[in-house]
Amino acid sequence: MSARLQAIKWERPHLTILNQLALPHSSEYIEISDARAGHYAISSMQTRGAPAIAIVAALSLAAELSTMHFDTSASPRTHIHMQLDYLATSRPTAVNLFDAITKLKHAVDTTITDNGQVVRDTYVQMAERMLDADVKDNMAIGEHGAQLIGNDKVRVLTHCNTGTLATAGYGTALGIVRSLHAQGLLDRVYFTETRPYNQGARLTAFELLTEEIPAQLVCDSAVSALLRSDPMIRAIVVGADRVAANGDTANKIGTYQLAITAQYHGCQFIVAAPTTSVDLYTKSGADIVIEERDEAEILVQTGFERQGVLEGRLERVEVQVAPVGTRAWNPSFDVTPAELISAIVTERGVVVKQSGASEFDMAGHMRGE
């Protein structure tokens, strides 16, 4: 993980996050003191990315609990369950959040004690372990992915933001890019702007510039032309908010069309995700609930006034792009069918389809087969 860029800072009992709505021109940290502040940070997209959402949710409640005193074991359990259920309503698509909530509830429910402080401390320690584990898992994903893609200088393309800003550190798809770069195998990474929230143009650009990784921004609509014109592009690498049991993958809107053009141009399409993003209870992508966001995110563009940025004076402005009265459809995610995915990389290794199969056996991967 880069020492220069840290999106989540935890020093018990203090949680601070990098406000991603202010990036890339201002590095503003916000203190998250309780579950309500954590919920707002997630739903407003001050923090985003499936792994980061889970970690911020878990630690926001840890910060809250750290300032509370409980006499009996029943009262912290009741409070923890209530607040975790509330945090679950922040964003519906990313499975990491619900996986973390299930594990945290299980940890406090199975702690045998009558001491409320022990139950509280059990929760806080579990949340802290999740933070540490996410960084280790992401670094493993980076290594497995780099081995899959690179044996000589390559170019890759990525979508949205899947790096340090979207995780506890290092990143998933962008972690693979980092590993390729560290091994001297990356010639260049292309990254999409990722409309309508511009996570690529704002956040991925910020990370890549910070770490001096050779990169080039492209319009979402230019990827097919790029694949045709640049034969050095070995793979499109994306993250995931939820991977179904058959490998169907929900990710940032625009991922599906990237998979289609990758297949047409004979380019590998690789999903990078920790096993916490794998949902074996969801049989296929047809069962994944897709979040739909405010249509204003498409109709209105928000940013910083250019001259002010050049002068070091930040002034946030809104620009009305579409005519007033225009209606818009704004799904935050889409689902890429497993048949379009070349491989799924987790911290445990690379998952590929059996010969002749159109779907993945994610359950087998989770069992270690």
- Which amino acid, residue 204? T
Tokens of 237: 């690498």
Q: How far apart are CA 35 and CA 59, in angstroms?
A: 8
Chain position carrying tokens 């993250």: 239
Residue 263 CB contacts under 8 Å (≥ 6 apart), including other chains: 269, 340
Q: Report the candidate in 245, 231, 234 with the shortest Cα–Cα distance to residue 363.
A: 245
**Six-digit token string for 113:** 């004690």
Q: Choosing from 241, 248, 279, 334, which is the catalytic residue?
A: 241
Q: Is 279 a catalytic residue?
A: no
For residue 360, give the nearest of 244, 246, 256 by alpha carbon.
246
C-alpha separations of 322 from 121, 346, 368 in Å: 51, 40, 50
Pairing assessment for the beta strands 343-346 and 333-336 based on DSSP bridges:
unpaired
**DSSP-derived 3-state class of residue 49:** coil
- DSSP class of residue 287 equals G
- Nearest to 29, CA basis, from 21, 166, 305: 21
β-strand pairing of 249-252 with 333-336? antiparallel
For the annotated catalytic residues, the residue numbers are 241
